[in-house]
Amino acid sequence: MLAWLSVAGPGKGRMKLAAFMLLSVLCRSSAWQGTMTTKLRMSSETRRDVMRKMMTFGALAPMKVYAQGAVNLNPLADEWEGFKETRTFNRGGKDIVLEQEFTSKRKNGLAVYEGNVVLTDYMQSLPKELWKDKNVLELGCGTGLGSITASLLGAKLVTASDRDPVVLSLAERNMLRNLKDETSFRTARISWGTPFCTTEAQYMRDMGQCWDSKFAFQKGYDVIIGADLTYSAGLIPLLADTLNDFSGPQTEILLCWCEPKLFTWNTDVMEELNKEIEYFRSRFKVETIRSGPAFQGHDNTFLLRMKKKT
């Protein structure tokens, strides 16, 4: 899921949150709305609906308000499968039926994005030993596709995490629908860069702003996965902090970004993100996966396999 407002904590975190709120206001300015109105007149009914949803989200992706032609939707957006009520995938040798709520609730994270398709396809191409009896954490779980895939590939326990309780509710329903063993999965509400709760009272009071310590294992999770976690390059350091907190020296980290068919408003968004991803190399050993069946039909894709530096 796109974690574009998952910032918390003192100092820089609050400043970044304020900056994103300001950007959201700018994206809803009269000049921007005027440009969008012109685009609406030139569009099909389906495309008009897509653009209206974009107006609702405001600053979903970082948009430079001075950029010319910032809104350049791919024609495939008319058939974007995120608008469907359900989607079906075959993962781990089983058909997975996922409920989606993007159309009804117009809320970020309630549909399967392109990066999650690529990531889960890549996951099932890896040796079974990577998943068998492992503890897996999914950041920005969205519909739960990544967590369900990990479970079907043999994981002992998967933790699907997100900052939004509405998203977590959807992921939990999808996991209940597709996984037989209810003890094999759980959900956790978190924001990146936030600390562990020191007491149960703090967890109940600050839920979503700190991690319940029960979600951390002594030596980290065995595998951490995440897809399309943010298209805001400035949030990468916070993501790195969270990855560092929950990984041990042997933890496998799999991250994927795809240029989204629906929400890329700037041609340079992916370029800026790619530059900031280099930040990971200061704290993790990073292998960039550049080819494979998972990449078919998905341009401008970043797939990373990482381990913490020792």
Distant-in-sequence, close-in-space partners of 266: CB < 8 Å, separation ≥ 6: 61, 62, 63, 64, 67, 70
Read off the CATH number of the domain in which 101 is found: 3.40.50.150
Tokens of 106: 């117009």
Q: Tell me the sheet residues that pair with 95.
A: 90
Q: Which of the residues in the chain have pLDDT under 50?
A: 1-77, 217-218, 264-266
121 belongs to a structural domain: yes
20 belongs to a structural domain: no
Our measurement of the distance from residue 118's CA atom to the centroid of its chain's CA atoms, rounded to an integer in Å, reads 13
Residue 176: the pLDDT is 95
Residue 190: the pLDDT is 78
97 belongs to a structural domain: yes
64 belongs to a structural domain: no
Write the CA distances from 194 to 28, 60, 156, 284, 289, integer angstroms: 29, 21, 26, 20, 29
Number of domains in the chain: 1
- The DSSP element (H or E) to which 94 belongs, if any, is strand 94-99
Q: Domain range holding 280?
A: 81-308
156 belongs to a structural domain: yes
Residue 103: the pLDDT is 55
Express each pLDDT in 87-132 by its tens digit: 889 999 999 999 887 655 556 667 788 889 999 999 999 999 999 9
- Dihedral pair phi/psi, residue 27, rounded to 5°: -70, -20
Residue 133: the pLDDT is 96
34 belongs to a structural domain: no
215 belongs to a structural domain: yes
37 belongs to a structural domain: no
Residue 254: the pLDDT is 98
Q: Is the pTM of this model over 0.95?
A: no
Residue 189, judged by CB atoms within 10 A of its CB (0-12, 13-18, 19+), counts as middle
Express each pLDDT in 7-53 by its tens digit: 333 344 444 444 444 444 444 444 434 443 333 333 444 444 444 44
Write the CA distances from 205 to 5, 9, 10, 30, 197, integer angstroms: 20, 15, 17, 39, 10
